[in-house]
Amino acid sequence: MTDTELQKLVEKISLTDFHRQFKHHVFFNQRLRTTGGRYQLQTHDIDINPRMLSEHDMPTLVGIVKHELCHYHLHLTHQGYQHRDADFKHLLAQVHGSRFAPAVQISSRSKMQLVYQCQSCGLLYHRKRHINLKKYRCGKCGGPLRLIQTLRR
């Protein structure tokens, strides 16, 4: 799905479910990691996480679009647009929008685990990031460390 197709979908959902026009822009934003979408208060634009479509199905994307449109329409009509507001909760339930975005897969970079071992006492250290072996030593005995394996989960 392209940004123009997404724009048409959002305009259609806005007219059918909210009975109001969507007059701003919506686009896919690759930088969104943990959220399904984002409504921008200053520009009134909506960003959608493209993984909501690639990792999930079309009804999931529609639910997230409805969620962001609730923020959009309530903010423009000067009503409670935040998650904690009763206006937001009522409108979200009325249009059957998603309350939460489903989980997305974590990138493979964060699944890597490095295992260091002390050369003196044999103590193992599990880390997600590389450490400077010239700078750091074992916390137990002060011995030098060495990288023994890299695990990918």
Q: At what angle do helices 3-13 and 58-76 cross, to 10 degrees?
A: 60
- How far apart are alpha carbons 21 and 13 in whole angstroms? 9
Write the DSSP symbol of residue 55.
T
Active-site annotation holder among 5, 11, 55, 68 = 68
3-state helix, strand, coil in the chain (%, to 5): 35, 20, 45
- Catalytic (active site) residue 68: yes
How far CA 78 is from CA of 48, 72, 87, in Å, comes to: 23, 10, 11
Alpha carbon 125 to chain centroid distance? 30
- How far apart are alpha carbons 130 and 25 in whole angstroms? 41
Both tokens of residue 148? 């023994």
Annotated active-site positions, please? 68
